[in-house]
Amino acid sequence: MNTLAGKVAIVTGGASGIGRATALLFAREGARVVVADIDGAGAEATAAQAVPEGSAVAVRADVSRPEDCRRIVATAVDTFGGLHVLFNNAGIIRRTTALDLDVEEWDRVMAVNVRSVFLMCKYAVPAMTEGGSIVNTGSGWGLKGGGNAISYCASKAAVVNMTRALAIDHARAGIRVNSVNPGDTDTPMLRDEARQLGEDWAAFADDAADRPMGRAGTPDEIAQAVLFLAGDAASYVTGSALVVDGGGLA
């Protein structure tokens, strides 16, 4: 049987990268999926690619905004009749030190990466009336430091520990909450990071110190870990931080 048969899922940041790969995998595994992204056309494109046809709908939404988060959850309930899985994955990065970062940029990274997880959980948990599974995208840089990414490192550490707090608060309601923590994964975000640092992609991708396996991960490899946490195979896993980084943190 498919891992998510009969389940309704939300994927934020579903227009691109890890979110798109996960939304498509969730659909193949039997879920009906709400694909939410600030990039409305990209979210539509993901929903259109989902197999079986009609298993996904797109919502244009900014997950830093309360009314948008409420609308994402309402779409799941109104369109598909409930909610079981939430993948809080939308995120942004600014590759600067504290010296070069504007206060507004600090606030934006915190709003998109951290406030969004709080808001989505605030509205999604009451809709998970049959229990559920929430997966939040942290990062290897939520578990250790990283250079030239002060706001991002702070935001992802917050996601990892907020995940633990949510897991404790909602365990008795049958809701599991875990973080998935990717290492470098070949997505538009990572390629944009190379640009922000003024580095050639080939040289950036060849950073051997961070990559014992000699390569970056793929979005599909992260999606498989999210699927495990989302499904019943992980029924006793909550509050955990699953690292999927080809050995980078090791």
- Please, which residue, 6 or 191, has the CB nearer to ligand NAD? 191
Beta-bridged to residue 11, according to DSSP, are: 35, 87
Q: Is residue 17 at the binding interface for ligand NAD, with CB under 6 A as the rule? A: yes
Which region, left, alpha or beta, applies to residue 148 given φ > 0 means left and ψ of -120 to 50 means alpha?
left
Q: Which of 8, 9, 18, 158 binds ligand NAD (CB under 6 A)?
A: 18
Supply the minimum distance, in Å, between the C-beta of residue 12 and ligand NAD. Answer: 6
Residue carrying the six token digits 């290492």: 183
**Considering all CA atoms of the chain, what is the largest pairwise distance in Å, rounded to the nearest integer?**
53
Window contacting ligand NAD (CB under 6 A); options: 74-82, 98-106, 179-187, 204-212? 179-187
Q: Is residue 44 at the binding interface for ligand NAD, with CB under 6 A as the rule? A: no
Q: Is residue 188 at the binding interface for ligand NAD, with CB under 6 A as the rule? A: yes
Residue 63's SS3 state is: coil
Q: Is residue 178 at the binding interface for ligand NAD, with CB under 6 A as the rule? A: no
Q: Is residue 199 at the binding interface for ligand NAD, with CB under 6 A as the rule? A: no
Phi, psi for 13 (deg, rounded to 5)? 70, 30
Show contacts with ligand NAD in window 82-141 (CB under 6 A): 89-93, 112, 137, 139
Q: Which of 25, 35, 42, 153 binds ligand NAD (CB under 6 A)?
A: 42
- Please, which residue, 3 or 221, has the CB nearer to ligand NAD? 221
Phi, psi for 32 (deg, rounded to 5)? -100, 135
Phi, psi for 137 (deg, rounded to 5)? -85, 110
Q: How far apart are CA 152 and CA 35, in angstroms?
A: 24
Q: Is 152 a catalytic residue?
A: yes
Catalytic residue among 26, 87, 141, 152: 152
Q: Is residue 22 at the binding interface for ligand NAD, with CB under 6 A as the rule? A: no
Supply the minimum distance, in Å, between the C-beta of residue 91 and ligand NAD. Answer: 2
Q: Which of 190, 226, 227, 229 binds ligand NAD (CB under 6 A)?
A: 190
Phi, psi for 161 (deg, rounded to 5)? -80, -30
Q: How far apart are CA 226 and CA 214, in angstroms?
A: 23
Supply the minimum distance, in Å, between the C-beta of residue 180 and ligand NAD. Answer: 8
Show contacts with ligand NAD in window 54-73 (CB under 6 A): 61-64
- Number of residues in contact with ligand NAD under rule CB under 6 A: 30
On the 0-12 / 13-18 / 19+ scale of CB atoms within 10 A, 67 is exposed
| CA nearest neighbour of 20 among 29, 32, 12, 28 | 12
Residues 6+ apart with CB under 8 A from 233: 3
Residues that bind ligand NAD (CB under 6 A): 12-13, 15-19, 37-39, 42, 61-64, 89-93, 112, 137, 139, 182, 184-185, 187-190
Q: Give catalytic residue positions.
A: 152
